[in-house]
Structure 1
Amino acid sequence: MKSETYTELGKLSLNGVLAVFVTTIAQPIVTHQFDWQITAGGILTAAVLLVLGILFLEKGGRP
């Protein structure tokens, strides 16, 4: 794959981190109850996407 493809995948992964983070914070506000399993799952998902995003951006190089 081209380096631009890896860069775009990295950007998409980092956008996913933001989306998961926002929904993880919004869930207890909307439902008026805290569920630690949903919060833990959101944190774990965001961490995995963050690592993938960093790896893709490193592989893609600087634009």
Structure 2
Amino acid sequence: MRLCESPSLVGLLVVGILFNIVLGILGLLGFTLLDALWVTASLLTIIGAAVVQHFIQQERDKK
């Protein structure tokens, strides 16, 4: 199975990359690890919800 054939694997890979990027940036800005983890989890949850809403709306527009 190719990676592009599985959207969940691609999504998991993207979330992992974004998690590391955001956590690294917050660390460079001086956030403590616990605060950075909370902020990162919150941001990824908000971004993930927005992406899901976008794809749901896109599917509705196709019909």
TM-score (norm 1): 0.50
Q: Higher relative contact order by CA 8 Å / sep ≥ 6: 1 or 2? A: 1
TM-score (norm 2): 0.50
